[in-house]
Amino acid sequence: MTVTIDQVRSAAAALDGSVALTPVVEAPKLAQLSGAAQVWLKLENLQHSGSFKARGALNRILALNTAERQVGVIAMSAGNHAQGVALHCARLGIPATVVMPRFTPLTKVQRTQAYGATVVLVGETLAEAQQHAHILATEQGLIFIHPYDDPLIIAGQGTVGLELARQVIDADDVIIPIGGGGLAAGMAIALHDAPTPPRLTGVQSASFPTLVRQPVADAPLSPQTLAEGIAVKYPGSLTKPIIDQHFDDVFAVDDTAIEQAIVWLMEEQKIVAEGAGAAPLALLMTQSARFAGRKGVLVISGGNIDNRVMASILMRGLVRAGRLARLRIEISDAPGMLARATSLIAEHGGNILEVYHQRLFQDVPVKSAELDVVVEATDSSHVEAMLGALRQAGFPARRLGSMASLPE
């Protein structure tokens, strides 16, 4: 089986008016940071369900006959396909069951349930969830809707490429996240038909480098990746040959790079992206030489990130940038010493957020104490200035461990 450009065009006609035509925005600051000539972002995180998955899901659902619609459907997903299926089944009055791995972020589970789908949490991987979904499909006579390895799903995702070809006509590169490969395969078919096809580059999580052509050292498969949307153990049998044919290369990025990319998108573009959606920017930054001086489009595939995870990532971003730091200060356990140390920090423009006064549980002399102070600063040099002032005043002080900078 294969998927043709005519099938993608048919999907676009079928989906017209039922899915969002998502915008493309230019990101000059990201181009400056990466060395690219221009950077655009295709914002599929603004899709109705928060990701591109709503496109393929609807295209497949529209192909159900009357009897199949009455019986209902079942899907397997880590969240975005689940929400796409649940959204459109609710709109069309079709019963939907979704099997999700246990590691699925709570936000995605709750949103899927809010659309009216029955959610079953089973398994530690997508493969285990899929196996259980097939069992339920057989037992209950439900129609299984695959998240990526289905011609109608691929054609539906390919409508992203049709839109992009009209929105940006002179792109040199398009970077696309790849899990099972439905989006990548569909967009490849659509963009291959463009007057001047761009170079296609795929990006995967370093924990799941299933299509990466260069070996990824020390990257055991793990469901704990931040990019759970592309944490797929095996690519699709339909999608892989299309990707092999049309993609120039596929690279992997680790969670540190993805985390930094989420922060950049939020700070520089005011855009919320989940791990998989931020992976193209992570690749642009870590493989900047590949894209230097070229015009590139990053497909921000989804924005369904757990609020707690997002808050943690943003705070860790402040630490990485030197805007939050934890200092350990040794003081004499005498009246006024705590006030003197904290006054020095304030005099040098530091804002103290937390103070831990340790007397009993540290390896320090009985007449001494240690302060662990979390301070807000403008950058790392500001932190060093505060440390210098403390040491000059007779307070031994050091900066405690923080996140390493993103590699060049």
Measured torsion, CA atoms of residues 338, 341, 346, 350, in degrees rounded to the nearest 10: -110
Q: Which residues pair with 253 in a beta bridge?
A: 205
Report the candidate in 223, 173, 169, 237 with the shortest Cα–Cα distance to residue 203: 173
Indicate the class that CATH gives domain 323-400.
Answer: alpha beta
Q: How confident is the model at residue 406 (pLDDT cuts 50, 70, 90)?
A: very low
- Choose among 291, 287, 295: nearest CA to 172: 295
Amino acid 216: pLDDT:
63
The predicted structure's pLDDT at residue 356: 83
Confidence of residue 407 (pLDDT cuts 50, 70, 90): very low
Could you tell me if 61 and 89 are in contact, meaning their C-beta atoms sit under 8 angstroms apart? yes
Give yes or no for residue 240 having a pLDDT over 60.
yes
Task: Count CA within 13 A, CB hemisphere, residue 82.
Answer: 33
Distance, CA of 305 to CA of 118 (rounded, Å): 21
Residue written as tokens 């990019």? 227
Alpha carbon 202 to chain centroid, angstroms: 14
Name the phi and psi angles at 392, rounded to 5. -65, -30
What's the rounded mean pLDDT across residues 351-374? 76
Structure tokens that stand for 1 in this block = 């089986």
- Over residues 7-20, the pLDDT tens digits come to 999 999 999 999 99
Q: Which two tokens stand for residue 266?
A: 């939020």
* pLDDT of 222 over the 70 cut: no
Q: Give the C-alpha separation, 407 to 401, whole Å.
A: 17
Residues 129-173: tens digit of each pLDDT: 889 999 999 999 999 999 999 999 999 999 999 999 999 999 999
pLDDT at residue 405, rounded to an integer: 39
| pLDDT score for 2 | 83
Contact 284, 259 (CB under 8 A): no
What's the pLDDT at 367? 67
Backbone φ and ψ of 199, nearest 5°: -75, 130
pLDDT at 179 over 80: yes
State mean pLDDT over 170-190.
97
Q: Do domains 5-51+155-316 and 73-141 have the same CATH topology?
A: yes
Checking if the pLDDT of 342 tops 80, the result is: yes
Q: Are 402 and 352 in contact (CB under 8 A)?
A: no
115-132 per-position pLDDT tens digit:
999 999 998 877 888 899
Convert the chain into a string of H (helix), E (strand) and C (coil): CCCCHHHHHHHHHHHCCCCCCCCEEECHHHHHHHCCCEEEEEEHHHCCCCECHHHHHHHHHCCCCHHHHHHCEEEECCCHHHHHHHHHHHHHCCCEEEEECCCCCHHHHHHHHHCCCEEEECCCCHHHHHHHHHHHHHHHCCEEECCCCCHHHHHHHHHHHHHHHHHCCCCCEEEEECCCCHHHHHHHHHHHCCCCCCEEEEEEECCCCCCCCCCCCCCCCCCCCCCHHHCCCCCCCCHHHHHHHHCCEEEEECHHHHHHHHHHHHHHHCCCCCHHHHHHHHHHHHCHHHHCCCEEEEEECECCCCHHHHHHHHHHHHHHCCCEEEEEEEEECCCCHHHHHHHHHHHCCCEEEEEEEECCCCCCCCCEEEEEEEEECCCHHHHHHHHHHHHHCCCCEEECCCCCCCCC
Mean of the per-residue pLDDT values of the chain:
90
Q: What is the model's pLDDT at position 408?
A: 32
Confidence of residue 392 (pLDDT cuts 50, 70, 90): very high
Q: Residue 320 has what pLDDT? A: 84
Token output for 92: 């069309």
The alpha carbon of residue 166 and the mean position of all alpha carbons in its chain are separated, in whole angstroms, by: 25
Q: In 10 A of CB 233, how many CB atoms?
A: 15
Give the pTM.
Answer: 0.86
Fold of 73-141: Rossmann fold (3.40.50)
- Token digits of residue 165: 């070809």
Query: In the structure, what pLDDT confidence band is assigned to residue 256 with cuts at 50, 70 and 90?
Result: very high
Q: What is the pLDDT of residues 41-50, one digit of tens each?
A: 999 999 989 9
CATH class of the domain defined by 5-51+155-316: alpha beta
Average pLDDT over residues 96-114: 87
Query: Treating both helix axes as pointing N-terminal to C-terminal, what angle do 151-167 and 5-15 enclose, rounded to 10 degrees?
Result: 80
Q: Apex CA 172: angle with CA 171 and CA 177, to 5°?
A: 85
Do 185 and 33 contact (CB within 8 A), yes or no? Answer: no
Q: What are the structural domain ranges in the chain?
A: 5-51+155-316, 73-141, 323-400
Q: Which pLDDT score, from 0 to 100, does residue 307 have?
A: 86
What confidence category does residue 360 fall into, taking pLDDT thresholds of 50, 70 and 90? low
